A and B are shown apart, each in its own frame.
Chain A
Amino acid sequence: MAEDSAMKSMMKSELIELMARKQGHLAYKDVELAVKSLLEQMSHALAGGERIEIRGFGSFSLHFRPPRAGRNPKTGDSVSLPGKFVPHFKPGKELRERVNESLNKTGS
């Protein structure tokens, strides 16, 4: 399985910086506001039960988790947990292929 802890990460601030450098004509601040708006739009859509569909990247939707009996780890008492929705991401074809091809190129 995964060695993903050994992989490097890109944080939101680095993403904003890269984007600002690549397109040149907008100030860092504008790109930052744009990225925040994009993430808020996506969160808002999901929070309202709406799907997100980005061709070549993937789609986000909600999956329902039915109610279940859980336990209070401290007391051992059983508690009933209500059903809930969780966000789900399905990578699109282009993303799947590009990521998988990178396995052969970079190894690691």
Chain B
Amino acid sequence: MALTKADMAERLFEELGLNKREAKELVELFFEEVREALEDAHNVKLSGFGNFTLRDKTQRPGRNPKTGEEIPISARRVVTFRPGQKLKQRVEAYAGSQQQ
């Protein structure tokens, strides 16, 4: 089981009394705005949850794992997520099924 956009919209409908279409649109808009900000070279800081941070990687040597052939891995920009203190603490307490 995983939390999905549909689950989140359903919850907005139940909790906040938004109609289903509005709820669906807001969930969509939320993730789209975060993507757009990152695309515009902005980090995104959501206090209590975490920060989405951009990192620029320079070109580095790589290899095709199948053929062993050397091919450079081009310079790229990647997104990393750093959980906030509050989220880290809540998750750390998860003792659930310790089977990793």
Q: Give me the interface of A with B, judged by CB distance under 8 Å.
A: 1-4, 7-12, 15, 18-19, 22-23, 25-26, 30-31, 33-35, 37-39, 41-43, 45-60, 62, 64, 83-89, 91, 94-96, 98-103, 106, 108
Contact = CB atoms under 8 A, between A and B. Distances in A.
Nearest to B48: A39
Nearest to B92: A84
A10 B92 contact: no
Q: How large is the interface on B (under 10, 10 to 19, 20 to 34, 35 or more residues)?
A: 35 or more
A26 B5 contact: no
Given A50-B1, A95-B79, 12 more contacts: A2-B54, A15-B37, A19-B30, A38-B27, A41-B7, A49-B94, A49-B96, A51-B1, A52-B3, A96-B78, A98-B35, A102-B39
Interface of B: 1-5, 7-8, 11-12, 15-16, 18, 22-23, 25-27, 29-31, 33-35, 37-58, 75-81, 83, 86-88, 90-94, 96-98, 100
A31 B42 contact: no
B26 A31 contact: yes
**Of A10, A25, A43, A60, most B-chain CB atoms within 10 Å:** A10
A48 B94 contact: yes
A8 B43 contact: yes
A82 to B, nearest CB: 9
B51 to A, nearest CB: 8
Contact of A23 (B5, B26, B38): B26
A103 B39 CA distance: 9
Given A12-B46, A34-B16, A87-B50, A53 B3 contact: yes
Nearest to A91: B79
A61 B87 CA distance: 12
B45 A9 contact: yes
A53 to B, nearest CB: 4
Contact of A99 (B29, B45, B79, B100): B79
Contact of A62 (B39, B40, B94): B94
